[in-house]
Structure formats: C-alpha cells, structure tokens
Amino acid sequence: MEKGFSTSQVKGVLAGFPCVDMKVTLTDGAFHPVDSSAIAFEIAAKAAYRQSVPKAGPQLLEPIMQVDAFTPDDHVGDVIGDLNRRRGIIKSQDSNPMGARIKADVPLSEMFGYIGDLRTMTSGRGQFSMEFSHYAPCPANVAEEVIKATKERQEAK
C-alpha cells in the first residue's frame, strides 16, 4: 500500500507536479490467500489515490523569494510600487544616509527580469538580492494558467 501511494505522489492530479505534504492513513484492510498479492495492494492504493486526492482540494504551490532591495531615497515609491505589482508583500523598509532598504516576499515567477526594471527605475543605482523563503499556494488565476499551459505541452507531445 505504501509503495502504491508513494509512486502515485510523484505525479499530482492538477498539473502533473509532485504531491507534497500529504498524510495517508489506512483504516481497514483484508487479505485473501488467492486474490491478495503485493501488486494487488499497490494497485488498490493507486486507485484510492486517484479517487481521493481530487476531492481533497489540492493546490499548486509556488516558490516565494525573500527579496532585499536597495534604492536611493528618491526612488523608494517606485520600487515599492513595482514589488506590489509583482504580487510582493512588503515586510520592512529601513532608511539610512545612503538610501533605503526594502525587504519583501515575492513569488519567483514574478522576479524574472527584475534587475533590468530596477536599474531602469533607479537610473542604474538600485540593487537587490533574493533567496528562497518558502512555498505558498498560487492564486486561482495563476494556477489556472499553469494547469492550462501544462496540459497544452502534454498534448503537443
């Protein structure tokens, strides 16, 4: 049973991505000397996974990055506005004589091309660093786009 569930988790039900943070509890079972075998239990577990996981409300998760941006004081509003536009959540803003440091959590998918936009907004004086923070559920509209694009790629193959 355990092997059946663990092999099923490799391919999730929404877009084929691995299923994580899932707990399975077997409450009852029976063994028949003629019909029961290891493969029969594995097949039963796979069938139970296919039937139960879509009913459990699965969600797509996206990586969230911890962004640390530095900008001169006269461009702080532009940088904060841009991070908000990228679905970022501003955590803190610290000012010092050299400029302002803005810390935010932003989805990785929104950070592509950020260095060019930051340099444009700050006339080349802005900098940033980012590191992985955690995974969080995707908004419904983003999840729908990802699922649709994944299905189109699979059909093209």
The answer to whether position 148 is within a domain reads: no
Sign of the CA dihedral running 60, 57, 43, 150: negative
93 and 70 both lie in a single domain: yes
The answer to whether position 144 is within a domain reads: no
| E strand segments, the chain | 61-71, 89-96, 99-107, 127-137
The answer to whether position 155 is within a domain reads: no
Q: By residue range, what is the domain housing residue 84?
A: 61-137
Q: What does pTM read for this prediction? A: 0.75
82 and 26 both lie in a single domain: no
123 and 68 both lie in a single domain: yes
9 and 46 both lie in a single domain: yes
The answer to whether position 74 is within a domain reads: yes
Retrieve residue 87's tokens. Answer: 């679905």
Which pLDDT tens digit goes with each residue over 10-62?
887 888 888 888 888 878 777 777 777 778 888 888 888 888 888 888 888 99
Q: How far is CA 89 from CA 16, 68, 116, 119, 140, in A?
A: 28, 12, 20, 20, 18
Enter the DSSP assignment of 115: H
Which pLDDT tens digit goes with each residue over 87-135?
999 999 999 888 899 999 999 999 999 999 999 999 899 999 999 999 9
